[in-house]
Amino acid sequence: MKFARKRVTAFAAVAVAAALVLTGCADTGTGSGGDGGGAEGGSDNLAITFLPKNLGNPYFDTSSKGGKTAVEELGGTFAEVGPAEATPDAQVSYINTATQQGVGALVVSANDPKAICDALNEARDAGVKVVTFDSDTNPDCRDLFINQADSEGIAKVQVDLIADQIGGAGEIAVLSASANATNQNAWIALMEEYLASDYPDITLVETVYGDDDDQTSFDKTAALLQTHPNLKGIISPTTVGIAAAARYLSTSDYKGTVALTGLGTPNQMREYVEDGTVTAFALWNPEELGYLSAYAAAALIQGDITGAEGDTFEAGELGEYTVGADGTVLLGDPFEFNAENIGDFDF
Amino acid sequence: MTTTTSIRRSGLGKAIGGVGRAREFGILIALALVVIAATAKNPNFLFSADGWRDLLLTPSILVLVAVGQAIVIITRNVDLSVGSVMGLTAYLTGRLFIDIPGIPIIVVVIAAVVFGALLGLVNGALVAFAKVPAMVITLGTLYAYRGINVLWAGSDRVNASDMPKDFLALGTAQLIGIPVLAIVALIVLAIAAWYMRNTRAGREYYAIGSDPAAAELYGLKVTRRLLTAFVLSGALAGLAGVFYAARYGSVSSQAGAGWELDAVGAAVIGGIAITGGVGSVWGAAIGAMLLMTINRALPILGIQDFWQRAVVGALIIGAIVLDRLLAVRQKRRLIEARDES
Amino acid sequence: MTATTATATTRVIREHDRPLWQRLLLTREMAIIALLIVVIVVAMTTVKGFAQPITLNYLLLDVAPILLIALPMALIMVTGEIDLSVGSMVGLASVVTGVLTQAGAPFEVAALAALAVGVVGGAVNGFLVTVVGLPSLAVTIGTLALFRGLAVGLLGTTAVTDFPEMWTALAKAKIAGTTIPYITVPFLILLVVFVVLLHFTPFGRGIYAIGLSKDAARFSGVHVERTKFILFVLAGVVAAFAGIFFTLRFGSARGDNATGLELQVIAAVVLGGVSVFGGRGQLHGVVAAVLLIGVLSSALRLANVTSDVINIITGGLLVASVVAASLLAWAQRLRAKAGPPLRSAAASTP
């Protein structure tokens, strides 16, 4: 009886395995090649999927809004997917799904320069165009990188702001996002160089990582202030970090004595500028960034450009853009927000 | 002729009582040591206004969850869904403030507690009526509640600007130098401790945890008590959710993720035996304070706070090994006493 | 008056209380397998993009760590214990691999070191449960925190992403001509080993015996402590192996890799018919359950259903399956109370 039962279940198991294998071996023509368009010529599969570092992040909510506007102007289909936590391995699953779905292009802000490369290249082999924005990967796994501003410019504006606010000397710390984020590490490295060359009296005592998570950033700010009693300033080059740090500072004893600056969105920072916790901070327009990225992706899909240096394409209301070295497209310059102009913006 | 055997309970009883009480004192001493060490390194840890406030405020949320968890564990069950319940009620708090402008804070608090209690009731019903192991049920509800939370919230988050100022002020307000949230947590803790120690219901939890079969045979209303235990756990997690929203001011769909293991850890460190029937809610509360204080003290002591989890893990293992040693010793003493008398 | 001696009422006692077909097909495991087939068919016909070669590849790659760890976990749960630290062990093995690779060691050495860490971790669990006599739930909650803490402590929140091309490619390579990834081979080997261990050796029978009654097993000569210890070590090693695979597949070693994996494994194991109380469970049910959850997740993701709904479904499935099992058991108890049916051999009427 025991063996009979096992035999039946064994047959059933074989049946299941066969079903799976048949799925695997069946070629219904929607596999590689797909309708994502080959490298030669263009296609009109304008299904563009945005994959930010994580969801629930107001910065990326804004950039996706811009992307959605652009895709709808172009008559395509917009989708936004992403993990809850800003980790590299979480993004791989979404890239795989996009490959399976045969989308026209994937617009990614990478959590790590190398970890998602294999998945991205697999997508490109299947005909999906890959555009990175905000945070790049290694250049050989993507077709284009839309950079919001020149990295040196971003680093310089934040260091200048903090130096101005603490009087050119003292201890500062950096509250970053996740430890592997390409853009964060690039900016922090440039900040350190700039500090060494132009502000020798300012010491960067510690860099902590808030992982673009609100509660973690909040707690890390508290820890920073506890551990370094002589801290005079904090730079947070991430919108989640600066918002959390501002919130902690505004209810603590250090409000007004410890300066805070970095990259933040006007809507999140408005009340802290108005109550004096923050004097000035910088950013660009994430909505324009998303808008431009979507247009770039569409241009790639339709075969108008290939990502080579010197290619030009139209980006709707933003006008014409040219591809620079290493497949990079620059949006513009960082913009400084302060008490005078913060009422003028809504994002 | 009657022989009177004097039961040498006084000495033994005191010893056993001492063993129980020793545990709470032990953790209290550990907590004091941690605070002293951190303060020695950086006086701001304790002696600044921020430091004192954070010392009491940050653990208050975990204390609530740990007390609820303690009650459940004492009945020989476990509630793994408290983190998700906390997240859901925190989000509910935010949503109520956004959707119903001008709603009184007390109404929101009551709504959150009731909501948490309902979620706990689901767990309790499945455990008590379907006789399904609590670990599995609460594992399932952990997933399900978190999923509902994310579905409801989408990628929105509740921001500090969405909630009324006086609610957020509650998060940091102080009364005679002690944060309001800490005072509320202390009151809840005192009520819970009195309930567990001095009421019949409370004693029955211990009985059920020590030997469920005997409790059933003895005629205790096991089903009702189990239901109540889970409802309490859910309600306390609901209150913790409100605290979370007030303290952090920003609620995403991931709020409270991972708190269930911290709560169980706090209870275990605080002397609650995972097999049930032993421990007090005071111990769980002190355990919660110890855990959260270590979190904050490590960076000051120069240990990268990345090692915090490892320290907590070592503490939990140490706590249960200690429990085991004490239990073995107690059993030996009881056998000796029985043989001698 | 008729003579009643000639036709005495004979009481027929059947060998089993239900016919063969019921015993074969109405098992928990078959229900899961049937559900799996149904879900696959539905997905293939209704979800765009599911019925392609690459789906199987991604599905197996995604599900491989859970598949691997579910095997020893099922055995541990049959003995009535549990191991919540497997997810953290995956993370720790991943970090060890990463740290050593970053320090310049050849990958083979790093991987072997990770496996060794798995053995040690499993042994710690085993020691605390069998020698010190602590309940496995508490111990493994502690080691869950400890291993995860060591992983995060060693690497912080940085990820090591520089692994030799050869190895990351191998992790994702497909068996020639098909889209089935190579990891299926080690899994199948492990599956055969575990099936043989569980059903064809005294060791395996001992596992069931321990789950049903620890003391009875001990009196029957089963080495209870040794069996449990070996199972925990096995779980540690397999988790470490899954950790190495995870690292290579995602090309990233990070302290918080595979957080929450243990819950996914337990959910699948319980769904597959293993009772939390111990003494019951079959490996084919477990494998089917893991695949079921994997197929569901994959199909739903392709249909652009967000992962939270997938979580709700997983949680709901878990609760429903356990409640259903409990109800079935209760119904069986009621039927057992009624007693075996009496059938008279002769319908004699006076």
Cα separation, B165 vs B152, in Å, equals 24
Interface of C with B in 301-320 (CB under 8 A): 306-319
> Residue B339 falls within a domain, yes or no?
no
Cα separation, C24 vs A11, in Å, equals 12
- pLDDT reading at C98 higher than 80: yes
Question: Does the distance separating the beta carbons of C318 and B261 come in below 8 Å?
Answer: no
Q: Which of B260, B320, B323 to mutate to test the interface with C (most CBs of C within 10 A)?
A: B320
Q: What percent of chain C has pLDDT over 90?
A: 38
Question: Which chains would you list as touching C if contact means 3+ CB atom pairs under 8 Å?
Answer: A, B
Structure tokens at A218: 């909040």
Pairing between β-strand A170-176 and β-strand A231-236 as defined by DSSP bridges: parallel
How much is the average pLDDT of A59-88? 88
The CATH code of the domain that includes B185 is 1.10.3470
| Residue of C344 and B267 predicted with greater confidence | B267
The length of chain B is 341
Question: Does the distance separating the beta carbons of B265 and C276 come in below 8 Å?
Answer: no
H or E, element range at A172: strand A170-176
Q: Quickly count: other Cβ atoms within 10 Å of residue B192's Cβ.
A: 23
Which class for C195: exposed (0-12), middle (13-18), buried (19 or more C-beta within 10 A)?
A: middle
Which pLDDT does position A28 carry in this prediction?
Answer: 36
Question: Does the distance separating the beta carbons of A229 and B252 come in below 8 Å?
Answer: no
Question: What value does the mean pLDDT of chain C take?
Answer: 85
Interface of C with A in 225-284 (CB under 8 A): 246, 250-252, 254, 256-257, 282, 284
- pLDDT reading at B106 higher than 70: yes
Which pLDDT does position C347 carry in this prediction?
Answer: 44
Q: Give residue-wise pLDDT tens across range B260-300.
A: 888 988 998 888 888 888 889 999 999 999 888 887 787 77
**What residues of chain C lie within 8 A of the CB of A23, using their CB?**
40, 44, 50-51, 53, 55-56
Which pLDDT does position A88 carry in this prediction?
Answer: 79
**Chain A touched by B146 (CB under 8 Å):** no
- Please tell me which of the candidates C25, C179, C282 has its beta carbon nearest to residue A24: C179
> Residue B180 falls within a domain, yes or no?
yes
Q: Give residue-wise pLDDT tens across range A265-278.
A: 888 888 888 888 88
**Chain A touched by C58 (CB under 8 Å):** yes
Q: Give residue-wise pLDDT tens across range B34-52.
A: 888 888 887 777 777 777 7
**What residues of chain B lie within 8 A of the CB of A268, using their CB?**
159
Q: Which of C322, C328, C330, C334 to mutate to test the interface with B (most CBs of B within 10 A)?
A: C322
> Residue B148 falls within a domain, yes or no?
yes
* SS3 category, A203: strand
Which pLDDT does position A29 carry in this prediction?
Answer: 33
Burial A165-184 (b: 16+ CB within 10 A, else e): bbeeebbbbbbbbbbbbbbb
Interface of C with B in 13-32 (CB under 8 A): none
**What residues of chain B lie within 8 A of the CB of C307, using their CB?**
150
Question: Does the distance separating the beta carbons of A96 and C58 come in below 8 Å?
Answer: yes
- pLDDT reading at A26 higher than 80: no
Interface of C with B in 238-257 (CB under 8 A): 255
Question: Does the distance separating the beta carbons of C180 and A89 come in below 8 Å?
Answer: no
Structural domain boundaries enclosing B77: 23-326
Q: Give residue-wise pLDDT tens across range C303-314.
A: 877 767 777 887
**What residues of chain C lie within 8 A of the CB of B149, using their CB?**
308
Question: Does the distance separating the beta carbons of B49 and A251 come in below 8 Å?
Answer: no
How much is the average pLDDT of A120-130? 91
Question: Does the distance separating the beta carbons of A179 and C24 come in below 8 Å?
Answer: no
Q: Of C29, C42, C136, which Cα lies nearest the Cα of B275?
A: C136
**CATH class name, domain C26-334:** mainly alpha
Q: Of B298, B288, B274, which Cα lies nearest the Cα of B243?
A: B288
- pLDDT reading at A202 higher than 70: yes
Which pLDDT does position A31 carry in this prediction?
Answer: 36
Cα separation, B36 vs B39, in Å, equals 5
- Please tell me which of the candidates C27, C58, C161 has its beta carbon nearest to residue A115: C161
Question: Does the distance separating the beta carbons of C263 and B143 come in below 8 Å?
Answer: yes
Cα separation, B83 vs B87, in Å, equals 6
Q: Give residue-wise pLDDT tens across range B110-162.
A: 999 999 999 999 999 999 888 788 888 888 888 889 888 888 887 677 777 77
How much is the average pLDDT of C60-79? 93
**Cα of A305 to nearest chain C Cα, Å:** 28
> Residue B36 falls within a domain, yes or no?
yes
**Chain C touched by A22 (CB under 8 Å):** no
> Residue B85 falls within a domain, yes or no?
yes
How much is the average pLDDT of C259-279? 85
Domain spans in chain C, listed from the N-terminal domain onward:
26-334
Structurally, how many domains does chain B consist of? Answer: 1
Cα separation, C274 vs C212, in Å, equals 12
Q: Find tokens 């948490």 and name the residue.
A: B116
Question: Does the distance separating the beta carbons of B141 and C315 come in below 8 Å?
Answer: yes
Cα-based distances in Å from B101 to B92, B104, B246, B252, C285? 14, 9, 16, 20, 52
Q: Give residue-wise pLDDT tens across range C196-254.
A: 999 899 999 999 999 999 899 999 988 999 999 999 999 999 999 999 999 988 888 88
Domains and CATH numbers, chain A: 47-148+286-332 (3.40.50.2300), 151-283+338-344 (3.40.50.2300)
**Cα of C214 to nearest chain A Cα, Å:** 24
ipTM, two decimals, is 0.80
> SS3 breakdown of chain C: % helix, strand, coil, rounded to 5?
70, 0, 30
**Cα of B159 to nearest chain A Cα, Å:** 9
Q: Give residue-wise pLDDT tens across range C102-150.
A: 888 899 999 999 999 999 999 999 999 999 888 888 899 889 889 998 9
**What residues of chain A lie within 8 A of the CB of B171, using their CB?**
251
Interface of A with C in 27-56 (CB under 8 A): 27-28, 30-32
Which distant-in-sequence residues (6+ apart) come within 8 Å of B251 by Cβ? B87, B90, B91, B93, B94, B157, B158, B244, B245
Which pLDDT does position C126 carry in this prediction?
Answer: 96
- Is residue C257 within 8 Å of residue C243, measured between CB atoms? yes
Q: Find tokens 């040591």 and name the residue.
A: B33
**What residues of chain B lie within 8 A of the CB of C289, using their CB?**
none
Which distant-in-sequence residues (6+ apart) come within 8 Å of C207 by Cβ? C75, C78, C79, C198, C227, C231
- pLDDT reading at C7 higher than 70: no
> Residue B204 falls within a domain, yes or no?
yes
Which distant-in-sequence residues (6+ apart) come within 8 Å of C30 by Cβ? A9, A12, C24
CB pairs under 8 A between A and C: 135
How much is the average pLDDT of B24-32? 83
H or E, element range at C70: helix C53-78
Which pLDDT does position A228 carry in this prediction?
Answer: 86
* SS3 category, B155: coil
Question: What value does the mean pLDDT of chain A take?
Answer: 83
Pairing between β-strand B174-175 and β-strand B178-179 as defined by DSSP bridges: antiparallel
User: What backbone phi and psi angles, to 5 degrees, belong to B254?
Assistant: -100, 5
Which pLDDT does position C1 carry in this prediction?
Answer: 45
**What residues of chain B lie within 8 A of the CB of A55, using their CB?**
155
The length of chain C is 350
Nearest CA in chain A to B302: A227
Question: Does the distance separating the beta carbons of C311 and B133 come in below 8 Å?
Answer: no
Question: Does the distance separating the beta carbons of A213 and B254 come in below 8 Å?
Answer: yes
Question: Does the distance separating the beta carbons of B157 and A223 come in below 8 Å?
Answer: no
